[in-house]
Amino acid sequence: MNATAPKDPLDARDRPARLTVGVVGAGRVGPALAASLALAGHRPVAVSGVSDASRRRAADLLPDVPLVTPADVLARADLVLLTVPDDALPGLVEGLAETGAVRPGQLIVHTSGRYGTKVLDPARRAGALPLALHPAMTFTGTSVDVQRLAGCSFGVTAPDELRLAAEALVIEMGGEPEWIAEESRPLYHAALALGANHLVTLVAQSMELLRTAGVAAPDRMLGPLLGAALDNALRSGDAALTGPVARGDAGTVAA
C-alpha cells in the first residue's frame, strides 16, 4: 500500500507565486530572510549594501546574487525587502517612489517593528502592495538565523486584501504570523524592546556581580537559573517570582 504524502501546511491556492526577491539594506535581517525565501522556492536576484560588513554578509548568505544599487534592486525584483534602520525607512520609501523606482503590483515589504504599512504609503500610491513583516527575534548575520526563523513569530500588518499573501510568506519562512493593528505597532515594538533590552542589561549586571563575588564562570552558573526563570515567567507571569522577595525575607533583601 502506498504511503500517503504529508499534507502541505499551505494550500496551493494560498501560496504566493514564485517571486524574484530583492533586498535593500544587507544588514543582519535582509539576507537571512531572502535566504529563507530561497529555500521556499523564491529566487533572490539582487541585493544592495553599503558597508564592507553588509557586502560580506550578502556574499555569505546570498552567494552569486549581484550587489547593485537600491533602484536596480527594485527594477529586478517582484518582492522587495526593505531592511534598513527604522529612522532611515521613511526617507528611503519616499526617495524610491519619487524617482519612479517602484513598479505597480510590486510587493514592498519592510521589517521594522515600529512601523505598520502607513510608512509605505508613497510606494502604495505608486501602485505597490505594502506589507509589514517584523520577525520577533535577534539576528547574528549568519546562516544560523535562517534556521532560527523556524517557529519565530512575525508581527504582521497588511491591508485586508493582502492578508493571505502576508501570512503565506511568513509561513514559507518558517514563521508564525501574529496580526498587529496599525495603531498598535508602537506599543508592540516597545514591548519587545523592553523585554529584550532589559533582559540583556539584567544578565550583564548579574554576571558582573558574580565576577566581583569571585565566581569564575558566571555564565555557567546563571544559565540554568535564568533559563528556568524565563521559561516559568513566560508560562506563569508574576506567579513565577521566586527568591527572597517572593518569600518575604525582608532581612535578606536589605542585606
Least Cα distance to 130 among 100, 99, 169 occurs for 169
Return the C-alpha cell found at 100. Answer: 519612479
SS3 of residue 238 by DSSP: helix
Whole-number pLDDT of residue 10: 47
Least Cα distance to 57 among 30, 38, 77, 82 occurs for 30
Whole-number pLDDT of residue 12: 42
CA distance 18 to 169: 11
Burial class of residue 222, CB neighbours in 10 A (0-12, 13-18, 19+)? middle
Whole-number pLDDT of residue 233: 87
At which residue does the C-alpha cell 556574499 appear?
59
Structural domains of the chain, ranges and CATH numbers in brackets: 16-180 (3.40.50.720), 187-254 (no CATH)
Q: Which residues of the chain have pLDDT under 50?
A: 1-13, 245, 247, 250, 253
Alpha helices in the chain (DSSP H): 30-39, 52-61, 70-76, 89-98, 121-125, 144-148, 163-172, 185-212, 218-236, 244-247, 250-254
At which residue does the C-alpha cell 505597532 appear?
185
Whole-number pLDDT of residue 50: 87
